[in-house]
Structure 1
Amino acid sequence: MTTLLAHVCGVKNVYTCMIRLYAVYHLHNQPLYDLAMWIYAGVIWLYVTEMLVWKTVRLREGSIALATAGPAFVWMFLQRGWYLH
């Protein structure tokens, strides 16, 4: 990992966190809700491909991201009708 890549990952984490915070406080806003779901799907896609395709991340390293993004995505999908009525 280079310093530049570390900074890019840090900035990505900040803006995705801000989107998720806005989505939490505006749960009935469909575009924000969808954007938050896409962010979780993107995290899942990133770590699964890094583990299975590129083999740059071990299961041990990617498990925390998958353990948080996976249930969050499933919960948002299952509760979509409740929050967006």
Structure 2
Amino acid sequence: MESVLAILPQAKGFLPQWLFITSVLALGNTAQAYLTTSFTQRVYNTWNPKYPTSSTGKVSKVPSNSPATPLSSRTFGTWTFLQGVVRMYAAYNINDGRFYSLAMCVYAVAWMHFVSEWLVFRTAKWGEGLAGPVIVSTGSLIWMFLQWGSYVD
């Protein structure tokens, strides 16, 4: 157990650990985005029959409710990987305002992306695939905004 605790950010409070956890989850999300479109399709789930529904690019006999393609899934995975890297740097450098600000920016970009896909572009609808990213990005932004003075030198 001590070896696990040793790799966690050592700064006081729970925010650095939260950033660490969300960065690790982002790295896992990146892997699944490269391997399959099924999880990406849970977020983007408005049906359009012209979009391929499998990672091979073939149109499935059972249409998906998602415009997510293998290319868009991998692009999303790359974007998610970058966000995870920024969060990881912020977790270990929580007192540096530059890293803290960058982490807030990636959560803000994530929030804007998911909310705009839901409310503006209508490629996502509220449900299990969208709720998680919106809640995490919203909660993290609020938490980081409120805790700025506690962490940033």
Q: TM-score normalised to the size of structure 1? A: 0.94
**Which consecutive residues of structure 2, in runs of 5 or more, have no partner in the other structure?**
1-67
Matched, 1:32 2:93: no
The Cα shift of 1:67 comes to 1.2
Q: Deviations over 1:6-42 (max 9, x none)?
A: 1111111111101101101000111110000011111
Letter in 2 for 1:69: S
CA distance in 1 between counterparts of 2:110 and 2:78 reads 15
Identity among equivalent positions (%) equals 29
Q: Does 1:66 align with 2:66?
A: no
2:108 to 33, 41, 48: 41
**For 2:88, what is the secondary structure of its paired residue?**
helix
Number of paired residues? 85
Q: Which runs of 4+ in 1 moved over 6 A?
A: none
Residue type at the aligned position of 2:80: N
Of residues 11, 18, 21 in structure 1, which corresponds to 2:78? 11
Q: What is the identity, as a one-letter code, of the residue corresponding to 2:125?
A: R
CA RMSD of superposed structures (Å): 0.9
- Show the counterpart of 1:75: 143
Per-residue deviation at 1:47?
A: 1.0
**Mapped partners of 1:82, 1:2: distance in 2:** 42
Unaligned runs of 5+ in 1: none
Q: Distance in 2 between matches of 1:47 and 1:2?
A: 17
**Cα distance in 1 for residues equivalent to 2:79 and 2:148:** 25
State which drifts further: 16-25 or 1-10: 1-10
Which of 1 and 2 has greater Rg? 2
In structure 2, C-alpha distance between the alignment counterparts of 1:65 and 1:30, rounded to whole Å: 24
**What TM-score, normalized to structure 2?**
0.54
